[in-house]
Amino acid sequence: MSELLNNILFLPEAASTFAERVDALHYFVVGTTMVMSAGVGLAALFMFFRYRRRLPAQATEYVVPTLKTEFLFVSVPLVFFLAWFGIGFRDFTWVTTPPKDAMDVYVMGKQWMWKFAYPEGPNGVNVLHVPANRPVRLLITSRDVLHSFYVPSFRIKQDALPGRYTQIWFEATKPGTYQVLCTEYCGLSHSKMLAEVVVLPAEEYDVWIKEQRRGRLQDRQDALADTSLVPPVARMVEQGQVLAGTQGCLKCHSVDGSQHIGPTFLGMFDRLERLDDGKDIRVDEAYITQSMMDPGAHLVAGYQNVMPTYQGKLQGPETAAIVEYIKSLRTANIREGASEGPAYDAIQ
Amino acid sequence: MTPSSSIASPGAAPAHDEHHDHHPNYLVDGTTIKSWLLTVDHKRIGLMFLFWVLLFFLVGGIFALLIRVELLTPGPTIMDAMTYNRTFTLHGLVMIFLFMIPAIPAVFGNFMLPLMLGAKDVAFPRLNLLSLYIYLAGAMLALWGMLNGGLDTGWTFYAPYSTHTTTTVAPVLFGAFIIGFSSIVTGINFIVTTHTMRAPGITWFKMPLFVWAIYATSCIQVLATPVIGLLLVLVTVENLFGFGMFDPARGGDPVLFQHLFWFYSHPAVYIMVLPAFGVMSEVVAAFSRKNIFGYRAVAYSSLGIAFVGFFAWGHHMFVSGQSTFVGGLFGVLTMLVGVFTAIKVFNWVGTVYKGAVDFKTPFAYFCGFLFFTVFGGMTGIALGTVSLDVPWHDTYFVVAHFHFIMVGATIMAFLAALHYWFPKMFGRTYHEGWGLVSAALIILGFNATFIPQFLVGNNGMPRRYYEYPERFQALNVASTAGASLLAFGFVIIAMYLTYALLYGRASGKNPWRSKGYEWLTESPPPTHNFVGPQPTYPEEPHFYVDPKKAEVPDAV
Ligand code: HEM
Ligand SMILES: [Cu+2]
């Protein structure tokens, strides 16, 4: 049944849990739209014929609707529209709220390619490997202009904004290869900004990611043997640690829980921070990124607005690496409460 | 002045009133170029707008065909990627700012509003002429920019692409900014005219529905246009001098751009479509010889649309990173626009009930209009259903939807108005058979062009794609074939209307036996609209009731 409907409507294969929900609502909406349009159209056609003009100057009766008729005209469409909206909004909330156990992948749009980075694995360009039947959260950003990450078979789409992370999640249901398109006009080669998602059965995916890591290790050893160059940093966390040092983050933020000019990184991720306007904010990827790009936006209570912006200084993957580094500094036995004030007076 | 010597003459209708020779109609009252270029007569200004608007429609149409030919094959067909990007930008810009926004208000609004209100002119005749020249100045500047460098941002100019692109942004945006003033000036003029120049007897609820629609449109124009003006200036400055409003690398916010842009451009959709609704209310009443079923509901719903139209802009941004809650809010508000439109649709169909339908060309356009509005409107509601918009956003589904509702409805109304009021404006008639044939071609061609675009959007083809994956081709070929049919329909119209203008038979004062107020005067009207005493308005417009029959309104 849905196979047939999909063919009539030219819908691509539905390959995610969200796709099934979207399609179900789609059939309902298209169905009622067709019935309503046909109703209006046929009624109109019937009347054009039934009430055709017989005399050039024919007089007509003065007919006006009763209040009841007008009420009907308003309420019938309203009930339908609100029903569609209700279902649609429930599904939308679902797709914008990733489950806690989702696996993270960083996505960066760039004129004109898609880059993917796994916290625990390899980086890639234009090919994204994901496991089937496991929720995957995408943290999406852009390096230059607006892009939009679109996988028709998953029915998901999310804009990529420079200087910000947005998120969406999906759970692929069928192994296979699916196309990724860019749907926000981004200049000359906008229509060539294509990529693909390779969905592997979960076990194969685990094997794949292990191999990737081994491959990286192998590369590193080969590189050492061949040229004795400094080995490339393989993992985002390590990369983030290096960056936090070279970019000067650690001048103000400690990683051992001690207080300094800024809040400590230790145990920061997922902590509830008390802000100086009295509100609380949960430290997540978006908050950390915003704190790097626009430090004054949410000031933690007790700290001065002294941090410089890293907008333009850090590239997308570098930002992601630092975020991953901070996430890795989560320890179970460390304090849960908000940061305390600085240990030294801030440099004015 | 011999009756058949020039276009300007109405032809020798036998029933001319005796004043004719002393009170020439507006077309022949002064025939020098100067008497046209410096006229303050709203009817002449309306005609000059008609000329320019049609010219720009032709330009935009040629670009549309170029786009469609390029998309005939998946790879490059007739142009390179950069040219294509400039072509669709030019198509969108010309169609929106130079054709659809001014089309009905500046042409038919200008011409009909004073006639329908029993006024001798609009409130500020000189300002009216100024708005024409502002429009032309802006149009020329924008077109000059497009030809010297060209803009490749799409008509939405999204930052930060538009602030970075090396193509010429400044003259085009500044041109659009200037055109905005024309829109505002016309809007103010119509609002003041409606408030102060109604003839005795025309109360608010005896105004023709076209006046209501133009009034609501003018309110939107006056309130929303300054916002886009401001935005265009900001983008221009940012592009030229590198200010940081919308560029995150300088602490700006690209999403702010989208809010400001859609705050104008969403209501702008109603600037385009409300006048179309107004025209259709007149046409359906005239050709079914019936009073409008639910006159007040139709009038109020115009104001309703104008009002909620301001609060729906966020539905363009469901996947832009705005919060889920805000997405929901804008989704619900979008539904309200749909309900107001539904009221209108039901009342138009209700108007035919117990009427006397004469299936002439304007009525054929009414049929097409009904279909495009219902289908375009319903797909709009579907897009407001947040989760469905996620896959559809920025695909051809959206392109098809907005062509259905704003282009389809507006073009149908524009052509209906042109045919319905042709005798009023020129005093001549066109060939009815050709009228029906071309209406059929256009309605068919339009469907054949855009229904495949709904499907190719469903299939996942993004908009603004120069090249596309192989699997989208069949539907693109269908769409291009439809576009040729559509273009052919327009060629036929151009031919028989030009012929009618030159050689058409005299139409007489009121060939449709319409009870619209504008038909109370001569066709074409004399310079100051009326000769002798001002007409009186004892009845509501479109009152076709047989006086011998019951006075008692019967209810359904
Ligand atoms: C023969 C009739 C027409 C055809 C075949 C046509 C075709 C197209 C196509 C294919 C696009 C999409 C370009 C893209 O996104 O890549 C487009 C966009 C557009 N069209 Fe048309 N069109 C036609 C008539 C009109 C008319 C009459 C109007 C307005 C009065 C109009 C207004 C627009 C607008 C505003 C856009 C958006 C431009 C943009 O994406 O920046 N079109 N048209
Ligand atoms: Cu892109």
Block residue for tokens 């990369």: A239
Cβ B165 vs Cβ B82: under 8 Å: no
pLDDT tens digit string along A7-44?
899 999 999 999 999 999 999 999 998 898 899 999 99
Task: Give the gap in angstroms from C-alpha B180 to the nearest C-alpha of chain A.
Answer: 25
- CB of A58 less than 8 A from some CB of B: yes
Task: Nearest by CB to A189, from B81, B289, B459: name it.
Answer: B81
Which chain A residues touch B320 with a CB distance below 8 Å? 159, 161
Q: Is B449 in the pocket of ligand 1 (CB under 6 A)?
A: yes
The span from the CA of B408 to the CA of B370, in Å, is 10
Closest-approach residue (CA) in chain B for A97: B324
What was the pLDDT predicted at A341?
Answer: 56
What phi and psi values does residue B335 have, to the nearest 5 degrees?
-60, -35
The answer, yes or no, to whether residue A234 has pLDDT greater than 60, is no
Block residue for tokens 């179970």: A332
Atom of ligand 1 nearest to the CA of B84: 16
Q: How confident is the model at residue A225 (pLDDT cuts 50, 70, 90)?
A: very low
What was the pLDDT predicted at A239?
Answer: 82
β-strand pairing of A195-200 with A123-125:
unpaired
Lowest mean pLDDT among A138-147, A281-290, A299-308: A299-308
CB-based contact A64 B295, cutoff 8 Å = yes
CB-based contact A161 B321, cutoff 8 Å = yes
What was the pLDDT predicted at A303?
Answer: 82
CB-based contact B513 A61, cutoff 8 Å = no
**Taking Cα atoms as reference points, which of B3, B32, B1 lies closest to residue B427?**
B3
Tell the residue nearest (CA) to atom 20 of ligand 1.
B92
Task: Give the gap in angstroms from C-alpha A302 to the nearest C-alpha of chain B.
Answer: 24
Residue of higher predicted confidence among B251 and B374: B374
- Which range of A99-113, A260-274, B453-467 scores highest in mean pLDDT? It is B453-467
pLDDT tens digit string along B96-129?
999 999 999 999 999 999 999 999 999 999 999 9
Q: How confident is the model at residue B18 (pLDDT cuts 50, 70, 90)?
A: very low
Cβ B371 vs Cβ A66: under 8 Å: no
Cβ B463 vs Cβ B394: under 8 Å: yes
Instruction: Kindly state the helix (H) or strand (E) to which residue A140 belongs, with its residue range.
Output: strand A136-142
Its ipTM equals: 0.88
pLDDT tens digit string along B60-103?
999 999 999 999 999 999 999 989 999 999 999 999 999 999 99
What was the pLDDT predicted at A233?
Answer: 44
CB-based contact A84 B379, cutoff 8 Å = no
Cβ B10 vs Cβ B25: under 8 Å: yes
Task: Nearest by CB to B394, from A26, A183, A194: name it.
Answer: A183
Provide the token pair at B249: 């690398």
Which chain A residues touch B331 with a CB distance below 8 Å? 85, 88-89
Q: Is B464 in the pocket of ligand 1 (CB under 6 A)?
A: yes
What phi and psi values does residue A124 have, to the nearest 5 degrees?
-150, 160
Q: How confident is the model at residue A58 (pLDDT cuts 50, 70, 90)?
A: confident
Cβ A30 vs Cβ B451: under 8 Å: no
Alpha helices in B17-124 (DSSP H): 33-37, 42-70, 81-93, 101-102, 110-117
In sign, the C-alpha dihedral spanning B459, B465, B469, B473 is positive
CB-based contact A22 B391, cutoff 8 Å = yes
**Taking Cα atoms as reference points, which of A163, A55, A90 lies closest to residue B250?**
A163
A196 Cα–ligand 2 center, Å: 14
Cβ B361 vs Cβ B343: under 8 Å: no
What was the pLDDT predicted at A222?
Answer: 55
DSSP A167-235: EEEE-B-S-EEEEEEE-S--STTGGG--EEEEEE-HHHHHHHHHHHHHHHHHHHHHHHHHH-PPPPP-S
A114 Cα–ligand 2 center, Å: 9
B68 Cα–ligand 2 center, Å: 22
In the DSSP assignment, the letter for residue A346 is P
What was the pLDDT predicted at B92?
Answer: 94
The span from the CA of B66 to the CA of B59, in Å, is 11
Which chain A residues touch B355 with a CB distance below 8 Å? 47, 51, 60
Q: How confident is the model at residue B11 (pLDDT cuts 50, 70, 90)?
A: very low
What was the pLDDT predicted at A110?
Answer: 87
Give pTM, 2 decimals: 0.83
Residue of higher predicted confidence among B159 and B466: B466
The span from the CA of B515 to the CA of B206, in Å, is 13
Atom of ligand 1 nearest to the CA of B463: 15
What was the pLDDT predicted at A232?
Answer: 46
Identify the residue among B85, B378, B466 best suited for mutation to test binding to A, counting A beta carbons within 10 A and taking the highest: B378
B388 Cα–ligand 1 center, Å: 23
Q: Is B64 in the pocket of ligand 1 (CB under 6 A)?
A: yes
**Taking Cα atoms as reference points, which of A27, A15, A10, A26 lies closest to residue A153?**
A15
Contact pairs from chain A to chain B, CB under 8 Å:
295
Mean pLDDT of the region A45-66: 88
The answer, yes or no, to whether residue B385 has pLDDT greater than 90, is yes
CB-based contact B294 A70, cutoff 8 Å = yes
Mean pLDDT of the region A75-86: 93
The answer, yes or no, to whether residue A69 has pLDDT greater than 60, is yes
CB-based contact B370 A40, cutoff 8 Å = yes
**Taking Cα atoms as reference points, which of B112, B131, B130, B133 lies closest to residue B121?**
B112
Block residue for tokens 């607006």: A146
Task: Give the gap in angstroms from C-alpha A87 to the nearest C-alpha of chain B.
Answer: 8
In the DSSP assignment, the letter for residue B538 is -
The answer, yes or no, to whether residue A219 has pLDDT greater than 70, is no
The span from the CA of B30 to the CA of B505, in Å, is 23
pLDDT tens digit string along B136-145?
999 999 999 8
The span from the CA of B150 to the CA of B148, in Å, is 6
Cβ A114 vs Cβ A138: under 8 Å: no
CB-based contact A59 B458, cutoff 8 Å = no
β-strand pairing of A272-274 with A195-200:
unpaired
Closest-approach residue (CA) in chain B for A292: B251
The span from the CA of A124 to the CA of A196, in Å, is 11
Lowest mean pLDDT among A77-86, A215-224, B32-41, B249-258: A215-224
Residue type, B445: G
Residue of higher predicted confidence among A331 and A135: A135
pLDDT tens digit string along B160-202?
888 877 777 888 999 999 999 999 999 999 999 999 999 988 9
Radius of gyration of chain A, Cα coordinates, nearest whole angstrom: 28
B510 Cα–ligand 2 center, Å: 57
Which chain A residues touch B154 with a CB distance below 8 Å? 185
CA A87 to chain centre: 21
The answer, yes or no, to whether residue B13 has pLDDT greater than 70, is no
Q: Which residues surround ligand 2, an ion (CB under 5 A)?
A: A 147, 182, 186, 193
What was the pLDDT predicted at A331?
Answer: 63
Task: Nearest by CB to B458, from A10, A184, A311: name it.
Answer: A10
The answer, yes or no, to whether residue B555 has pLDDT greater than 60, is no
In sign, the C-alpha dihedral spanning A251, A255, A261, A267 is positive
Q: How confident is the model at residue A252 (pLDDT cuts 50, 70, 90)?
A: confident
Q: How confident is the model at residue B373 (pLDDT cuts 50, 70, 90)?
A: very high
DSSP B95-158: IIIIIIHHIIIIIIIHHHHHHHHT-SS-S-HHHHHHHHHHHHHHHHHHHHHHHTT---S-TT--
The span from the CA of B22 to the CA of B33, in Å, is 22
What was the pLDDT predicted at A2?
Answer: 77
Task: Give the gap in angstroms from C-alpha B144 to the nearest C-alpha of chain A.
Answer: 22
Length of chain B: 556
CB-based contact A91 B164, cutoff 8 Å = no
Percentage above 70 pLDDT, chain B: 94
pLDDT tens digit string along A159-186?
999 888 999 999 999 999 999 999 999 9
What was the pLDDT predicted at A236?
Answer: 77
The answer, yes or no, to whether residue A343 has pLDDT greater than 60, is no
Q: How confident is the model at residue A320 (pLDDT cuts 50, 70, 90)?
A: confident
Mean pLDDT of the region B292-305: 90
What phi and psi values does residue A108 have, to the nearest 5 degrees?
-125, 125
CB-based contact B357 A51, cutoff 8 Å = yes
Q: Is B95 in the pocket of ligand 1 (CB under 6 A)?
A: yes
The span from the CA of B520 to the CA of B385, in Å, is 47
Report helix, strand or coil for A52: strand
